[in-house]
């Protein structure tokens, strides 16, 4: 098989004609597919139907320490919810504050609090001339949107299958006092599905930041979100490694049950050192009368413990896996050896990352949209929405059905091929002109 | 009957002896009473038991516009929840964003957002040298704590039974560009239970602020929290009055169901002009993936409409009224005509405000505590915890049972009398010394 680069101009023109015909056919189908976000499908949400029966008018409404969960109080969460969220993250309950329905809010509030009040007594960031965050790329658009909103300068850090480029991270963190944070999705990263290696996590824990208020924002969003029984990534506990390395306060870890129970009605948590938690609580006392403890109790009564969480995640995986497999099968079959794209094969999480030929991502996403399929906007996986190579595309297989997923993948590879053939032709034309000129 | 001031030294000394004996007896009872916060009792929370049955595994989980409430999305709330919260505040649904379980969080976030991002394009407050808020006093301690946390300077505005001293408010708001807000609990105010008169509300709506980013923080926490069937206060709608006065963007209104369903698991809302809501949404989009819509749906299915809200609040009132009546009966019987205190007789809300002799509040609260009754800390109803006259005490009858409430009131009046007699004696001694000296 030849790569597109190896095809002659005539072969390319003929291929383009074929692909254009197929694309017109695809447009004619009136597809309506959404692969834009890591959004669970209704079927997946239905797996937690009984979640709603967990508490009813006959239920004991006290937490295990005797607190009436319906009333005010318990800023940091009920003990059993702290324990459960701690287990999901692999940290002790005493390092956990259980929060509201979105870890995004906890992350936003953490940045916002640092802006207005600093970190553990440091100068509030809004009083500084420059604040920078490191952003492993491709990454999660909502992380970048938060830091952009606060005028924080973002620096791209290339991702590898072992995690961010740690040489670059170490150099920037230890050499620049204005670097105050780094966004990490350390397990089944968004969008590549990479899990940081043990060495990477150790290097994180042993960072020597120039800024005392530098923090690792460790968004452990997919801690228990495996796709396969026999291929499960593991991630070392960053909190204990940081403590061992003499950096106990250097990390905030976040997680939620948004993709365990209900995307819109889960519970979230932050884990950190006692000093950090005390710092957070100083603000929380003023910001809330306590998060929704009824929902915390509902979660614990429904999921019970890690065994319950694992059973729930297995049900999710059984539903998600065929969709991932469908996409991967089509990508493998249709694109292998053509030299027009690379893709990841994650063991968990919610995304597959596709790396198109340079300068093709926007065009592919636009082509897909024209034929009825919404993808995450090209560029969204980079700070400021700017993918310097215009090549990364995030595929989110969770929302469509497996059948739709196959259709979607077929359409996707078609668009990749069509845009790529045009790109190769255009490049060659330009090169020809350059040679002539 | 003589006032304490009219008693002779001998009468006062005899009275003190009696009171000290009674106080020792009271201490011996080993009371454990909590009147510190406007916290519902378990019995009151039990009135919403069926709230937990409202949604179960058989329920239709779509909002009236077809949205799956379990999933992400609907930043500003589901339509039926916007309508219901709008009805509670007396504003159209389109002026409402439904939020999480605490209106305190919405208020905190509103101040925080103004600090970091300004208001409708104004300079972020954190970039200004001075930001001031007007604080009608006595008022709600958590309001003051939020502004204090952000380093906002607070200016006391005396309350009257018709609302804040509007001459002072008008002068400060129109004359000082650094005045950016005023905290208001316009109906059944915390702690006095006063409702702003129509004239007061109109004067609010017609303010001519020097600062374009001045906002009225209208915390309508007790909008439907009447105590009596036949004595219910009404409050004009500030949003429409502001719009009529050409000040559509001048007010944020807040409310919640914390004291309608569950204190810890209600829903909250903010109402404002379209321009303000758009401004808020710019941040919300980054801060949350949408608030808990399952709980929004649970609320609408349980309360249904304003008739349902009224029926629910009547049940609450039937339970709260005897407690208020018990306190008032004891205060009337024991303190009338003694010249040692004044108290309010609210038609709704959660508090009775007691005005002791100058310099006596801290001592009364301490005496109560010593005998087993926790009251809100003296001073808490003033910014910085400083009641300049040390005279205001907030009584919160909601948590104890009616029986406990009577005990509590008896102990309270005993402590008031004891501290007052000591105060009169001390004043007289000082006056005597001054006369001698």
Per-residue pLDDT of chain A (437 residues; tens, 9 = 90+): 899 999 999 999 999 999 999 999 999 999 999 888 889 999 999 999 999 999 999 999 999 999 999 999 999 999 999 999 999 999 999 999 999 999 999 999 999 999 999 999 999 999 999 999 999 999 999 999 999 999 999 999 999 999 999 999 999 999 999 999 999 999 999 999 999 999 999 999 999 999 999 999 999 999 999 999 999 999 999 999 999 999 999 999 999 999 999 999 999 999 999 999 999 999 999 999 999 999 999 999 999 999 999 999 999 999 999 999 999 999 999 999 999 999 999 999 999 999 999 999 999 999 999 999 999 999 999 999 999 999 999 999 999 888 899 899 999 999 999 999 999 999 999 988 777 65
ipTM of this predicted complex?
0.96
B393: β partners:
B354
Interface of B with A in 372-431 (CB under 8 A): none
Distance CA B109, CA A116 (A): 12
Q: Which of B56, B149, B258 sits opposite A286 (nearest CB)?
A: B149
Cα separations (Å) of A127 from A115, A122, A124, A217?
Answer: 8, 11, 6, 21
Contact A102 B288 (CB under 8 A): yes
Contact A71 B149 (CB under 8 A): no
A258 close to B (CB below 8 A): yes
Task: Pick the residue from chain A with its C-alpha nearest to B113.
Answer: A112
Contact B45 A61 (CB under 8 A): yes
Minimal CA–CA distance to B44: which of B196, B288, B263?
B263
pLDDT for the residue numbered B202:
98
Minimal CA–CA distance to A148: which of A378, A389, A392, A382?
A382
Residues of A in contact with B71 (CB under 8 A): 39-40, 42, 45, 262-264
Q: Is B240 helix (H, G, I), strand (E, B) or coil?
A: helix
The pairing of beta strand B215-219 with beta strand B251-256 = parallel
Q: Which of A146, A263, A289 sits opposite B104 (nearest CB)?
A: A289
Q: For each successive 10 residues of chain B (437 residues), what is the average pLDDT?
A: 94 97 95 89 93 96 97 96 98 98 97 98 97 98 98 98 98 98 98 98 98 98 97 98 98 98 97 98 95 98 98 96 95 98 98 98 98 95 98 94 90 98 95 74
* Strand residues in B66-152 grouped as ranges (E): 96-99, 132-137
Minimal CA–CA distance to A252: which of A388, A390, A351, A110?
A110
Distance CA A413, CA A419 (A): 10
Contact A101 B292 (CB under 8 A): yes
CB B392 within 8 A of CB B353: yes
Contact A265 B116 (CB under 8 A): no
First to last CA, chain A: 33
pLDDT for the residue numbered B113:
98
pLDDT tens digit sequence for B341-373: 999 999 999 999 999 999 999 999 999 999 999
Residues of B in contact with A116 (CB under 8 A): 112, 115-116, 126, 150
A35: β partners:
A375
Q: Is B251 helix (H, G, I), strand (E, B) or coil?
A: strand
Cα separations (Å) of A114 from A180, A279, A384, A405, B145?
Answer: 10, 10, 21, 42, 18
pLDDT for the residue numbered B437:
58
Give helix A103-117 / helix B103-117 axis angle, nearest 10°.
50
Cα separations (Å) of A370 from A21, A72, A378?
Answer: 15, 51, 14
A67 close to B (CB below 8 A): no
Cα dihedral sign for B415, B418, B420, B423?
negative
At the top level of CATH, the class of B4-44+310-427 is alpha beta
The CATH number of B61-304 is 3.40.640.10
A61 close to B (CB below 8 A): yes
pLDDT for the residue numbered A433:
75
List all residues 6 or more positions away from B263 whose beta carbon is below 8 Å from its beta carbon: A70, A71, A72, A289, B39, B40, B45
Fold for A4-44+310-428, please state it.
3.90.1150
Q: Which of B52, B149, B294 sits opposite A264 (nearest CB)?
A: B294
Interface of A with B in 114-153 (CB under 8 A): 115-117, 124, 126-127, 142, 145-146, 149-150
Fold for A63-304, please state it.
3.40.640
Q: Is A379 helix (H, G, I), strand (E, B) or coil?
A: coil
pLDDT for the residue numbered A359:
98
Domains A4-44+310-428 and A63-304 share a fold: no
Contact A150 B69 (CB under 8 A): no
Residues of A in contact with B290 (CB under 8 A): 102, 264
Q: Domain ranges for chain A, please list them.
A: 4-44+310-428, 63-304
Q: How many other CB atoms are found less than 10 A from the CB of residue A174?
A: 15
Which H or E run contains A306?
helix A306-335
Contact A126 B116 (CB under 8 A): yes
CB A178 within 8 A of CB A211: yes
B288 close to A (CB below 8 A): yes
Task: Pick the residue from chain A with its C-alpha nearest to B118.
Answer: A150
Residues of B in contact with A302 (CB under 8 A): none
pLDDT for the residue numbered A436:
67
Residues of A in contact with B140 (CB under 8 A): none
Residues of A in contact with B42 (CB under 8 A): 68, 71
Residues of B in contact with A287 (CB under 8 A): 104-105, 108-109, 146
Which one-letter DSSP state was computed for residue A133?
Answer: E
């Amino acid at each position: 098989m030849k790569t597109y680069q190896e095809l002659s101009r005539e072969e390319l023109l003929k291929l383009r004609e074929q692909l254009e015909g197929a694309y017109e056919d695809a447009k004619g189908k009136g597809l309506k597919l959404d692969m834009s976000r890591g959004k669970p499908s209704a079927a997946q949400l239905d797996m937690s139907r009984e979640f709603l029966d967990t508490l009813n008018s006959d239920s004991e409404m006290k937490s295990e320490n005797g607190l009436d969960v319906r009333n005010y109080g318990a800023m940091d969460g009920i003990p059993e919810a702290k324990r459960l969220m701690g287990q999901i993250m692999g940290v002790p309950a005493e390092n956990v504050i259980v929060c509201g329905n979105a870890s995004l809010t906890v992350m936003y509030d953490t940045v916002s609090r640092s802006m207005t009040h600093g970190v553990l007594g440091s100068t509030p960031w809004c009083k500084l001339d420059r604040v920078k965050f490191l952003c492993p790329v491709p990454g999660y658009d909502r992380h970048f949107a938060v830091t952009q909103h606060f005028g924080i300068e973002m620096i791209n850090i290339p991702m590898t299958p072992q995690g961010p480029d740690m040489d670059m991270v170490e150099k920037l963190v230890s050499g620049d006092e204005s670097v105050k944070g780094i966004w990490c999705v350390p397990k089944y990263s968004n969008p590549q599905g990479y899990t940081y290696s043990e060495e990477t996590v150790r290097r994180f824990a042993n960072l020597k930041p120039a800024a005392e208020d530098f923090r690792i924002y460790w968004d452990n969003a997919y801690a228990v979100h495996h796709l396969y029984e026999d291929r499960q990534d593991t991630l070392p506990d960053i909190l204990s490694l940081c403590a061992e390395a003499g950096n106990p306060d250097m990390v905030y870890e976040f997680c939620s049950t948004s993709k365990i129970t209900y995307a819109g009605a889960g519970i979230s948590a932050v884990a950190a050192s006692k000093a950090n938690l005390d710092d957070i609580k100083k603000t929380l006392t003023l910001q809330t009368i306590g998060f929704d403890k009824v929902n915390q109790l509902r979660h614990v009564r429904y999921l019970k413990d890690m065994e319950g969480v694992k059973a729930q995640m297995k049900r999710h995986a059984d539903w998600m896996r065929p969709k991932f497999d469908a996409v991967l099968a089509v990508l493998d079959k249709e694109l292998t050896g053509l030299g027009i794209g690379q893709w990841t094969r994650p063991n968990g999480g919610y995304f597959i990352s596709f790396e198109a030929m340079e300068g093709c991502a926007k065009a592919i996403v636009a082509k897909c949209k024209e034929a009825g399929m919404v993808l995450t906007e090209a560029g969204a996986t980079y700070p400021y929405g700017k993918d310097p190579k215009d090549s990364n595309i995030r595929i989110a297989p969770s929302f469509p059905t497996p059948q739709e997923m196959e259709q979607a993948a077929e359409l996707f590879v078609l668009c990749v091929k069509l845009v790529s053939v045009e790109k190769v032709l255009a490049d060659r034309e330009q090169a020809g002109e350059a040679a002539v000129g």
